A and B are shown apart, each in its own frame.
Chain A
Amino acid sequence: MTGAGETPDEPVVRLSDLRFAYPATSFRLQISHWEVARGRQVAVIGPSGSGKTTLLHLIAGILRPTAGVVGVEGRRLDELADRELRAFRARRIGMVFQDFQLLEYLDVRENILLPYYIGTDLRISGDVRRRADELAAAVGLGDRMRRNVTRLSQGERQRVALCRALITEPPLILADEPTGNLDPVNKRKIMALLQNHARRLGATLVVVTHDRDILSAMDRVVDFADWTAKVG
């Protein structure tokens, strides 16, 4: 799962002298240095509004930093052109959003395959379809592939979002509150699925969460409130 021109020892995520501010707000994010090694499973915790989601969006290249370096898999995302950045994100990063962000006019299978429908360099093949079926079966949605996502429960939607993040077998998985809307049983199931799939793929997992119940299973925990102390 290594990208072109990278070495196994190279961190998958590298932030350096990162600064970010939303225009016309007092919000400021500053990270002097942070790295996540390949294959590690890291949780980022912190109070609401501290910038956890912003951090994920910066790592994914959805937001561009005001200053500093955002490196993912050896590529400087802050230097990539918009077109390259989007293509990189589609191929190399899998994201699970807090509010799932499924397309309501598509069914379960189509939502899982969405990165392939919209990715310029991605083509849907028999293998990809099979992978979608396997992922759906693994999260207990094998019999609902043709069901519209608006007819699913919150937990089921979360699982579809999870499958969509994993379908491209990305080396980096970013999950924003993946257990936010789930009951304890489903919470454990989802985290187990996410972690097992990440391990199987050799992928790096960064999870942003409020939920302290899931921290014990992670390799490392970063407290956003005490960022400098933990990270620095």
Chain B
Amino acid sequence: MWHLAWRHVVYYRGQTLLLVAAIALAGYLPIATELLLRRLQHDLRSRADATPLVVGKLGSRTDLMLHALYFTAKAPGRIPFGTMETVTADGYARAIPLAAVHTAKRVSLVGTSLDYFEYRRLRVSSGRTFGRLGECVVGASVARRLGLSPGDSLLTDTESFVELTRYPLKLHVVGVLAAAGTPDDDAVFCDIKTVWVIEGIGHGHQDLGGVDEPGVVLERTENAVTAGAALKQYLEITPENEASFHFHGNMRDFPITAVILIPRDEKSETILLGRWHESDEFQVIEPDRVVELLLGTVFQIKHLLDLAAVFVAVSTGLLIALVVLLSLRLRAAEMATLFKLGCRRATTARLISAELLIVTGLSCAVLVVMLGTTWLVGPSLLRWWIVSGGV
């Protein structure tokens, strides 16, 4: 019986594939949504739970949370580097700066301090952490995707063709992080000062001491030298030219996008929240609370998706029933032959049932493969979705 059923299913493989695809997809949509949302919930919560407080520009709390946790480009705004000192002045917390507005090869470039690695328990699997201007450490996924290893380099992206004020900076890869299964796998890390160089706040150029070329030196006085457009600016920081790099202005005013605050204890956290709750310049958020609010919204939407999935499942079921009925009508001659040869009604019913079971089994197998793939690529997919502004 199974042999006949299998032969029928294989012979009419086009119809079988359509049925299998319809059943698998009808099952996949709700289950995959459930799986991905559970994963999203888990990832968001675990990342948020590991990040007690975040300081950022006043604005959307969700944007700030996603920016600080997932390095999304959509930060509410910039705050001065001096904010770090302001919020930690009383010693209630230690602070880790973040400046994540640039990209390198379309990957988020995160300017921070070495404390970040220690705090996130990130381990360098090959090479070392950054120590000088222009050096970077890449996340495990980035290294795999772009084929990067210590000794390689990558250029930062300029935002547009018409952006003339910023040049790409060549970053030297000095280390690759071990996979952590977090957004850190999908980022490139460098010292915050390197970000300021990219911003144009800091720069390096040829020594003007003995240069008298008219296009390079416009004016030389006892106290200052005015350089012209012909001055050679460095687009790469090397041991030879590193000393020429310098910053203009007060470092307290240099921009960052967020600060991760790690309070000494719960009491310190409460004091910090209370103290900076009504600041006119910046906000202090608790990522876990923001995540809960966000998940509340997401799960409200999911209820609608669940309802839609029920309709899809019912309509698919009805369509499959219709297909089976029409198929039986088309197979009337075959059924008549079986009857004439002495096939019992129960045997005919078993034959049809066996075919349906095979189709269902194949659909389940396809569904398992699809769900397995989703489970494997899900975390990366979710991170990409969040970073690209899906949440």
Cβ-defined contact, B11 with A118, below 8 A: no
Provide the A94-138 mask, 1 if CB < 8 A to any CB of B, else 0.
010100010111100010001101111000000000000000000
Minimal beta-carbon separation of B354 from chain A (angstroms): 11
Give complex CA distance A169, B129 in Å: 84
Size of chain B's interface in residues, with CB distance under 8 A? 22
Contact with B along A150-189 (1 / 0, CB 8 A): 0000000000000010000000000000000000000000
* B167-183 contacts to A (CB < 8 Å): none
B359-381, CB under 8 A of A: which get 1 and which 0? 00000000000000000000000
B267 in the interface (beta carbon within 8 A):
no
Contact stretch, chosen from A65-73, A85-93, A211-219: A85-93
Q: Return the contact of A118 from the options B10, B12, B336, B338 (Cβ within 8 A).
A: B338
Q: Is the Cβ of A118 less than 8 Å from the Cβ of B4?
A: yes
Min Cβ gap A152→B in Å is 15
A103-B334, A117-B3, A120-B347 are known contacts. Are A89 and B342 too (CB-CB below 8 A)? yes
| 12 A-B pairs whose Cβ atoms sit less than 8 Å apart in the complex | A62-B340, A82-B345, A86-B344, A88-B342, A95-B341, A101-B336, A105-B7, A105-B8, A105-B11, A106-B7, A115-B342, A117-B4
Bin the interface of chain A by size.
20 to 34
A101 in contact with B3 given A118-B347, A120-B347 (CB within 8 Å): no
Contact between B4 and A87, CB atoms less than 8 A apart: no
Q: Contacts A105-B7, A106-B7, A118-B4 given; indicate if A97 touches B340 (C-beta within 8 A).
A: yes
Q: How close is B122's CB to chain A, nearest CB, in angstroms?
A: 59
B343 at interface (Cβ–Cβ under 8 A)?
yes
Q: Give A188 Cβ to nearest chain B Cβ, in Å.
A: 27
Chain B residues lying within 8 Å of A106, measured Cβ to Cβ, are 4, 7
Cα(A110)–Cα(B351), bound, Å: 15
Q: Are B12 and A89 in contact (CB under 8 A)?
A: no
A-B contact count, CB below 8 Å? 62
B337 and A101 contact, CB distance less than 8 A: yes
Q: A103-B334, A103-B337 are in contact. Are A118 and B342 (CB under 8 A)?
A: yes
Q: Which residues of A contact B334 (CB under 8 A)?
A: 103
B7 contacts which chain A residues (CB < 8 A)?
A: 105-106, 110
Complex CA gap A19/B3 in Å reads: 41
Contact of A200 with B by CB under 8 A: no
Least CB distance from A112 to B in Å reads 12
Q: Select one of A104, A105, A114 contacting B341, CB under 8 A.
A: A114
Given contacts A105-B10, A105-B11, A110-B3, list 15 more A-B pairs with CB under 8 A.
A83-B344, A86-B339, A87-B344, A89-B341, A91-B342, A95-B341, A101-B333, A101-B337, A101-B340, A103-B334, A105-B8, A115-B342, A117-B1, A118-B342, A164-B341
